[in-house]
Amino acid sequence: MPKDEQGKVRVAGLLHDIGKIGIPDRVLFKQEGLSQEEWELVRSHPAVGADILAKAPMLADIIPIVLCHHERYDGRGYPRALAGEAIPFAARILAVADAYDAMTSHRPYRAALDKEQALQELRDRAGTQFDPGIVAAFETVVQTLEETSAVAL
């Protein structure tokens, strides 16, 4: 991936959930299941984020990534129900990275998974929720980073 595209993914990774600013904390941190109305609020955050970013013309290239980071490879995501290659490549990368981060982080409603459990979840969802090629590449990167860290110790 060219360096400028890498930079866009990095910036999108930092800003992808900016649309959550409009979701009340009582919904974001709710420990029990969400109501239909609450789910609609949560599902609106990519579009709200895109609207916020549209106010800064220098971030125009980031908008499609932020807007599409909850699309699913099988077309059952949101907000546009895009599938496969119709989802911007950078958004497919961000979807995998964001899911891994979410799974390996503690949440009010569940404990964090360890790295191997999270990687297995990604593998299990490859081809449905996630782009299988990106999952495979992500797994290679995680393993390489672990090996590099082990050698450095």
Domain 3-152 has CATH 1.10.3210.10: yes
Q: Over the range 77-116, which residues count as b (16 or more CB within 10 Å of their CB) and which as e? A: bbbeebeeeebbebbbbbbbbbbbeebeeeeeeeeebeee
CA distance 110 to 107: 5
Tell me the average pLDDT across 40-60: 97
pTM over 0.85: yes
pLDDT tens by residue, 4-25:
999 999 999 999 999 999 899 9
Task: Look at residue 109 in the predicted model and tell me its pLDDT.
Answer: 73
Q: Is the Cβ–Cβ distance between 131 and 92 less than 8 Å? A: yes
Query: How high is the mean pLDDT of the chain?
Result: 94
Beta-carbon-side half-sphere exposure of residue 88 (alpha carbons within 13 Å):
18
**Which two structure tokens, joined as six digits, stand for 3?**
């360096």
Residue 152 has pLDDT above 80, yes or no: no
Task: Look at residue 153 in the predicted model and tell me its pLDDT.
Answer: 55
Backbone angles phi, psi at 30, to 5 degrees: -65, 135
**33: CB partners within 8 A, 6+ apart:** none
pLDDT tens by residue, 120-143:
999 999 999 999 999 999 999 999
127: left (phi over 0), alpha (psi -120 to 50) or beta: left
**Which two structure tokens, joined as six digits, stand for 107?**
């949440």
